[in-house]
Amino acid sequence: MAKMDETLTMLKDLTDAKGIAGNEREARAVMKKYIEPFADEVTTDNLGSLIAKKSGDANGPKIMVAGHLDEVGFMITQIDDKGFLRFQTVGGWWSQVMLAQRVTIVTRKGDITGVIGSKPPHILSPEARKKPVDIKDMFIDIGASSKEEAQEWGVRPGDMVVPYFEFTVMNNEKMLLAKAWDNRIGCAIAIDVMKYVKDKQHKNTVYGVGTVQEEVGLRGAKTSAQAIQPDIAFGVDVGIAGDTPGVSSKEAMSKMGDGPQIILYDASMVSHKGLRDFVTDVADELNIPYQFDAMAGGGTDSGAIHVTSGGVPSLSITIATRYIHSHAAMLHRDDYENAVKLIGEVILRLDQETVNKIKFD
């Protein structure tokens, strides 16, 4: 395995942490540990979003860089008499990536290993075998023999379930495989942007934010933006990589390694033109690679942030990622590092006059 440098260690800690929407405590603690050295203060809003603040100029514009802490997972809803667990998806899941996958149930008494099961194909009719299994017909098997035994082990309705997967550096050491890239990579970018601007002169107050409950409706982005009242915001998240077999460039244009994605349009937001032009001008000036993307469906935290209070010029900057919302997603380290550099350099060039110009550009 590749030698783990500081960045890889942070990425491993962030992605290995367990945290679905509404239960982000562990991921928040990891993000706090890494962002604290670069902040003047670290607070949380009342829903649990982490807000790290660093003043360059106390009277300058407030710039928010937000990644979300939650990952897609499941919640236990009931334990049947034989000890099998029924569950609710938390965030979007495609049934085809779930069966026979290992999961971790987080209980008050500690973690329990389970596997997602269904009726075996050998006893299904030929027609039924051709169809994907419905999520409602799946269950989690923890090897318990009864409801009582499962309860004895600490399992209760409401317990969170997360995919089991360990952070892995691929043979091409730029390629990183992990669960929860959606969106611990955004959290990592927020941390590293704070680090990037910490000792440099600029005229802004920078907020690195880990929002909660993005996967169920951008909820922590609403509350944290309300608390901060930013002048400019960047939602950092994963985007779609279009470089796998069978995907046409018409469906998804981006390639891993070709730079961060500048999102023009998604279902939650039309990106702010003045801010978009400012960001791409900085990228062009510094030869930082980037690619444009637009998605008819889906959205990021920017979708909630840009309609906060009187409105916030916002832009989503994303990392092309393969196999999101599954047990193992893959991204390219260069894209991550270029996203940090781009957002960091943009912040260094912002001040009140520039922000006013951007607003009405």
Which residues are known to be catalytic? 214
On whether the CB atoms of residues 284 and 222 are closer than 8 A, the answer is: no
- DSSP-derived secondary structure letter, 322: B
Pairing outcome for strands 62-68 and 205-211: parallel
Q: How far apart, in Å, do the first and last CA atoms of the chain sit? A: 48
Provide φ and ψ at 296, rounded to 5°. Answer: -70, -30
With a CB cutoff of 8 Å and minimum separation 6, the contacts of 116 are: 98, 99, 100, 101, 103, 138, 139, 140, 141
Q: What interhelical angle do 25-35 and 181-197 show, nearest 10?
A: 20
Pair 314, 170: CB distance under 8 Å? no
Radius of gyration of the chain (CA): 21
Kindly write down the DSSP assignment for every residue of 192-219, as one continuous string: HHHHHHTTS--S-EEEEEEES--TTTSH
Which residue has tokens 């018409």? 250
> Would you say 87 and 104 are in contact if contact means Cβ atoms under 8 Å apart?
no
Q: Which residues contact 43 (CB under 8 A, 6 or more apart)?
A: 50, 51, 53
CB 32 within 8 A of CB 194: no
Helix (H) or strand (E) holding 305: helix 302-305
Q: Is there a contact between 67 and 298 (Cβ–Cβ < 8 Å)? A: no
Q: Which residues contact 72 (CB under 8 A, 6 or more apart)?
A: 20, 89, 90, 91, 92, 93, 182, 215, 325
